[in-house]
Every structure is written in C-alpha cells, then in structure tokens.
Amino acid sequence: GAGVSQSPSNKVTEKGKDVELRCDPISGHTALYWYRQSLGQGLEFLIYFQGNSAPDKSGLPSDRFSAERTGGSVSTLTIQRTQQEDSAVYLCASSLTLRTGLNTEAFFGQGTRLTVV
Amino acid sequence: DAKTTQPPSMDCAEGRAANPPCNHSTISGNEYVYWYRQIHSQGPQYIIHGLKNNETNEMASLIITEDRKSSTLILPHATLRDTAVYYCIVRDRDLYSGGGADGLTFGKGTHLIIQP
C-alpha cells in the first residue's frame, strides 16, 4: 500500500476484554515497530520486528501484551484482559531495513486510539 | 536515560526560519541524529537525519556541530502547518548487528508553535 495502515482507527472496549490491533506496513518494508502514546505523553517504544522475528520483547508493558507478524507483512498487537491504563494511541511504523543510514526512515500509521472503559 | 535534550517549547513567526536545537552530548561515533515531527492527532513524520555532515532535503536542513554534541534543525520559511512537536533522536548505526535492540527512542520533544 501507499502508507502504513492501521485498523481499527478507534476502539472502545470494556475493562477485562481482549483487543487485537492490526498494522499493514508499507509493501517491502522488512522492519516493523509498535509504539504507544498515552494522553499528553511522548511515544513509548514497545517492540520491533525484523521480518517475522521479534528479538527483544522487553519493551512490552506486561505479559498481557503480545505481538506477532506473519508473512513478513501484517502484524497484530494483542492486549489481553485490558485495563484502563492501557488506554492510549497505539502507533505502528515500518522501515525498509533496520540498518541506520540506509533508507531506514520509519513511516508511521495514523494509529489506533484505544479507550478502555 | 535520555540521550537527547530539547527545549520543551519555542515560538517562531510565520515566514521566518525556525531552528529547534538539540543537545546529544553523549552521542557515540556509531549514532545518527534523526529528526521527526508529530502534528496534532497524526503519527510522527520523518524529517531528516545525519551522521556528521550537514544535510539538506526538501523539508529542512540539519546542522550538526563539529564535535557532534548538538544539532539544529532548520525550517527555512516556517508556515502555520509546521506547528508540531519536533523530536530529536540518536540511533545506533548498525542495529541489526546487535548495536541496539530497540526502535526509535522518542523523548518529550520541542513543541514548535508558528505564530501568524
């Protein structure tokens, strides 16, 4: 696609329910990143993928969070048993490669605004 | 452990050059300087990056001091649409080879307000 696409754009869920957020990266981009931005806060890095592999999951806030990527393309971020503090905008980005300086600028999607009530 | 320091906010008159600064005194030889911006309610947007030489593209110029401990982004003729939070980020040159395992680390950035 022309840009990074995220769905849904908005999600309201009840506390305790599971949610799944989807990211379609730019075609051909091997690196994919998830961030979240809480109201009035900066961007918090969560996890990155190189291909289908996520070498470091330490940025995920808790074990309720998981992410996967299949076929080197679409990625899903799953939050189980959502809590109110999970409310944030979840942003996905992709870049051609991970190697800095070689066209590695990251292109961001518009985000999914998650509200846990 | 913030790698960069930026002023929280700055104003600039429309049509003038906006030049948000960034300190990165602990930058290593392998780290690039990246600039992104985030316009309200949108995802961050890449602006420019550089290693040690000054860089220019269609959006902006990046001036990096000779000791690489600070840099300045220059928007030559700022417009109202340039109002955004501007993030300065340092990032290891070669993440894939184990130089770092995270993505871009965003700080608080500078809220640049272009005044009419």
Task: Report d(CA A93, CA B106) in Å as an integer.
Answer: 13
**Could you give the percent of chain A with pLDDT greater than 70?**
93
Facing B32 at nearest CB: one of A33, A42, A101 = A101
Q: Tell me what pLDDT residue A106 has.
A: 86
B51 and chain A in contact, CB less than 8 A: yes
- Chain A residues whose CB is inside 8 A of the B107 CB are 42
Chain A residue with Cα closest to B93: A100
Among B88, B106, B108, the strongest candidate for a mutation testing the A interface, having the largest count of A CBs within 10 A, is: B106
What is the distance, to the nearest Å, from the Cα of residue B60 to the centroid of all Cα atoms in its chain? 10
Spatial contact of B73 and B82, defined as CB atoms under 8 Å apart? no
Spatial contact of A87 and A26, defined as CB atoms under 8 Å apart? no
Half-sphere exposure of B55 (CA within 13 A, CB side): 20
Q: Return the bridge partners of A11, or none.
A: A114
Which one-letter amino acid corresponds to residue B71?
Answer: S
Q: Is pLDDT above 70 for B94? A: no
* Interface touch A109/B94, C-beta < 8 Å: no
Q: What is the mean pLDDT of residues A47-64?
A: 90
What is the distance, to the nearest Å, from the Cα of residue A94 to the centroid of all Cα atoms in its chain? 10
Q: Tell me what pLDDT residue B56 has.
A: 96
Which one-letter amino acid corresponds to residue B11?
Answer: D
- Give buried/exposed letters for B26-50 (b at 16+ CB in 10 A, else e): ebeeebbbbbbbbeeeebbbbbbbb
Chain A residue with Cα closest to B105: A45
Count of beta carbons in the 10 Å neighbourhood of residue B91? 22
Task: Report d(CA A113, CA A93) in Å as an integer.
Answer: 15
pLDDT band at B93 (very low <50, low <70, confident <90, very high): low
Q: Is pLDDT above 90 for A58? A: no
Nearest to A99 by CA among A58, A57, A59, A48: A48
* Interface touch A43/B42, C-beta < 8 Å: no
Task: Report d(CA A49, CA A67) in Å as an integer.
Answer: 9
* Interface touch B96/A99, C-beta < 8 Å: yes
- Residue B65 phi, psi dihedral angles, 5° rounding: -65, 160
pLDDT band at A81 (very low <50, low <70, confident <90, very high): very high
What is the distance, to the nearest Å, from the Cα of residue B53 to the centroid of all Cα atoms in its chain? 15
* Interface touch A97/B96, C-beta < 8 Å: yes
Among B49, B51, B96, the strongest candidate for a mutation testing the A interface, having the largest count of A CBs within 10 A, is: B96
Which one-letter amino acid corresponds to residue A45?
Answer: F
Count of beta carbons in the 10 Å neighbourhood of residue A111? 24
